Structure 1
């Protein structure tokens, strides 16, 4: 069924979309603070190079051929990008073996010059359903990024193609430049269509026997496991050599688990970001108690698991329907948050006004594009530069449903598809931003604790190890990232969970250094997420930290009162197997603000 998780009044929409000037006046930087900022990296490490420099010189075009020439993109001819992004290819390919099939997915492929990437490729998918993976490319982990409120694109210090070959794919049909008539009714349908496209992509670029790593965020938590599972079932490593999977803030479990049930505990933890009046706080706590939500978390957010979680969740009747009083706790918190903070962003709850413009038209909870601005990927010159269909109106998230009758009939992936991928690859990472309220971190952990893989249910120990990001240089001021202990993690039986302390929903956007490190772990370049070795692309960086100095992690997941770390942990396996050997969209406001995602 389909579950509406957020509905706000037209009044809020009109407030949020009203035009106003964002001009700044009379602001002068504090020179002493600027000097402190510029010198902070020098206090930790010495450095004689950075990973913005060329990694390894190869032929100028590794993949240029008669088959691929029509997809080639001029790296110096991308509108508004005033630097060479290097070799890349973009265009549409059909979802079947029929070259004339009108149903086609759109891709943008960026080869890597990293010598370690010679026989591997990373797939990136955004969610929605119906949200474009060009969001991830242009604002998260692509070679250039154009983030909220910024003037022009800049080089991305943390571009994933510095580590591996990567392709951004718009799918299912109906998403972005993926043309055709949507026919999918389930994730099984989506996966089969993707596999048809992928065979064509592999044939076009001769990527035979490449290791395939599938990554994505939000509703891609549905896409990635089903696609990976379908690839594994093909038993054809020539095309489908699935070697690992990485998902950020993913839809992997029931709506109530990832939304209403952890909501009040989330508000209590971040109370300074939710400055509600006493009567409202009393009301949501009374309803939480009546619904049994916090009691449920105190029982089942435990390590090892307390046992299988009931099929009928708290707040539901015998048919599994959640009462309005319970389900609306989540809605009411969002409504109240926007009343006190009109720029409240469900994707990153620490956001305040002013509302920043976004070249993609979607800078958070609401759609916003200043008068006179254009949606970047809907510009004719951009479409021409990237071989995109000129007759398609591009939007960050599709205005049409990419599923027939607007319904994805599939079971949540934690039931079968996700465990299947973990057990086969023994190399899956699930990461979650602590400041995300689209999907709540405790809900993700609850889902993991009710999932069986590797012969056991859930983690036997909590995620308390320190998630470490090496100190580094930031060569591009528009592309900077934190360092040090940036969260928590835990690895057991081929699954790693990582909580990211200062990130919202899109971890590669809000914590790019963390995401870069996690990709290194996925690819087998480092053996653990608490490793203090420098980034593998920062060979000349002298790291001064030691694992003994790190202590425990610091991400604020685990609000349940009974979560404590064990005295010893004999079940943790921290070595990467590879080393051994929803854009969940908040749809455009048209009088109302509506966030939706699908359940089984």
Structure 2
């Protein structure tokens, strides 16, 4: 592609607004550094009867929790009662001199099935606040970018189970103290100290614990869950399952540059590059050996562990700049043809919508006169947050000593440990996410040993079905029907989600709700037409569902599957296959 130096400089300069935001901060500093360098309403409750609502008798109010209680009718700009909740800080250890703490906001569930269980939600970064998830993904009220005001969320996760959103590690959001973590073992240890204090405060001894998150939480969650399992202490750490979305589970190269050109080919209509630039990408991809690598190793069953060094590296195993830059050049070129290109949801176009958290996509944007929601004094006061802390969606400062997480990828040890010990792990990936590519996640799975075998033995191709629902209010519309692809083997379920970007509970809330029902054991299939557990009367599809629809999983240069074609089976047989 060609454009004048003036235009190129202007557009790349605008891209620097990405720097410390949710978005590029989700998975680390590399893309942030690249951009910097280049630039030098009401819900329908007729059926959803189990949704949380204010009740006369709080479930968790006691002498220890009173100071954390939040007035459900006193949340700024929220014109309805969000119900019982608790927010505040708890230390990361039992040491009375401990100066570090994690900040949380806990929303109990009124669902009778939620007794003696709780789910932890973590956002990524490292250093991005989980209140992003609370406010724009799966909390009881949501304020999506471009919308007028907060609205009740019929897809809130505490409609199913007790849910707590935790800002971690230390240095994230309202979590304050001395940053001492050097790696994920330190993060897990600190979180477990916080969690013991949380359990004691809310008298939750013996509760089943589930953990979920997205992006860099693909590192956080497996390390924390694995540490809880290894503790063999079900009084405090009764880890029972894990759900991670668009997760960092493998090396950056596997999840970003290696599958990038195939991704652009598949979604060519969203990357309308000229022939010259496309030819240049193809030539560099071939020289680096990337598409050939995907074709060879994204197969089912895997041929063996992915050998090192990876393609496109020098004699020391370091990725060559010309190969890494394939990924970055795609991003830069996409911004030229679509100045509002969102690397987290590639179908996004202009205009750039405002966001109360400051990042409606790849670019930072907060109109003059507006303030980050959680940095407002009235919001801080409502949730007992420290008034002297400047809240950021993603921390401007490093949350690891030295600025680097020194831990191995989670797919090497801790993620398999969680799969094997819980037999209840879900990995979901949005089809329209480019910050982390679904084929890279699948490569990470195919290079992971769990249940005594390497990777999936069969290609994911079952239909992922989202139940139709009776939610008809415009601010809460969400998809139904076959909405992707799913597959389960040996305790691990993979779900590819159509039409979703990086933040699946935000872009596909009904799909995420079904994932959570499956994780909690409320339903036993995701390739069947079982209705939502809190919307049992909505009519469902009576047709054969066919195969899955999410595009990920292809492994040749043209985007076609090279695996052996399987005979189409009935929904009943697919259910049996899914659960084996």
The equivalences for 1:329-368 within 5 A come to: 329-368=326-365
Deviations 1:160-184 (A, max 9, x none): 0000000000000000000012111
Among 483, 487, 493, which residue is 1:486 paired with? 483
Match of 2:508 in 1: 511
CA contact (8 A) 1:232 1:241 kept: yes
Whether 1:544 and 2:544 are equivalent positions in the alignment is no
Among 85, 102, 105, which residue is 1:105 paired with? 102
CA distance in 1, matches of 2:313, 2:101: 41
CA distance in 1, matches of 2:432, 2:248: 16
Q: Any idea what SS the aligned residue of 2:200 has?
A: helix
The equivalences for 1:176-195 within 5 A come to: 176-195=173-192
- Residues 371 and 202 of structure 1: is their aligned pair in 2 closer, same or farther, counting only changes over 3 Å? same
CA distance in 2, matches of 1:346, 1:573: 37
CA contact (8 A) 1:187 1:223 kept: yes
CA distance in 1, matches of 2:244, 2:564: 25
Match of 1:126 in 2: 123
CA contact (8 A) 1:157 1:475 kept: no
Whether 1:227 and 2:224 are equivalent positions in the alignment is yes
CA contact (8 A) 2:487 2:578 kept: no
- Structure 1 position 409, deviation (Å): 0.3
Match of 2:269 in 1: 272
Deviations 1:83-131 (A, max 9, x none): 0000000000000102442100000000000000011000000000000
CA distance in 2, matches of 1:9, 1:192: 46
CA distance in 1, matches of 2:56, 2:248: 41
Whether 1:50 and 2:51 are equivalent positions in the alignment is no
Match of 1:21 in 2: none
Match of 1:208 in 2: 205
Whether 1:554 and 2:577 are equivalent positions in the alignment is no
Among 315, 323, 327, which residue is 2:324 paired with? 327
CA distance in 2, matches of 1:57, 1:255: 45
- Residues 48 and 259 of structure 1: is their aligned pair in 2 closer, same or farther, counting only changes over 3 Å? closer
CA distance in 1, matches of 2:55, 2:577: 34
- What TM-score, normalized by structure 1, do the two folds share? 0.87
Match of 1:78 in 2: 75
CA contact (8 A) 2:527 2:575 kept: no
CA distance in 1, matches of 2:253, 2:375: 36
Match of 2:30 in 1: none
- Structure 1 position 531, deviation (Å): 2.2
CA distance in 2, matches of 1:420, 1:109: 28
- Residues 287 and 490 of structure 1: is their aligned pair in 2 closer, same or farther, counting only changes over 3 Å? same
CA distance in 2, matches of 1:137, 1:221: 18
CA distance in 1, matches of 2:45, 2:342: 39
Match of 2:243 in 1: 246
| Structure 1 spans left out of the alignment, 5+ residues | 1-7, 19-46, 578-600
| Structure 2 spans left out of the alignment, 5+ residues | 1-6, 18-43
Structure 1 stretches of at least 4 aligned residues deviating more than 2 Å after TM superposition: 8-18, 47-50, 52-60, 561-577
Deviations 1:190-244 (A, max 9, x none): 0000000000000000011100000000000000000000001110000000000
Match of 1:300 in 2: 297
CA distance in 1, matches of 2:488, 2:524: 11
CA distance in 1, matches of 2:237, 2:562: 40
CA distance in 1, matches of 2:368, 2:97: 40
Q: Any idea what SS the aligned residue of 2:465 has?
A: strand
- Structure 1 position 318, deviation (Å): 2.9
CA distance in 2, matches of 1:476, 1:96: 45
CA distance in 1, matches of 2:293, 2:375: 46
Match of 2:257 in 1: 260
- Residues 573 and 236 of structure 1: is their aligned pair in 2 closer, same or farther, counting only changes over 3 Å? farther
- Structure 1 position 384, deviation (Å): 0.3
- Structure 1 position 345, deviation (Å): 0.2
Match of 2:93 in 1: 96
Whether 1:529 and 2:532 are equivalent positions in the alignment is no
- Structure 1 position 480, deviation (Å): 1.6
Match of 1:597 in 2: none
CA contact (8 A) 1:426 1:493 kept: yes
Match of 1:12 in 2: 11
- What TM-score, normalized by structure 2, do the two folds share? 0.90
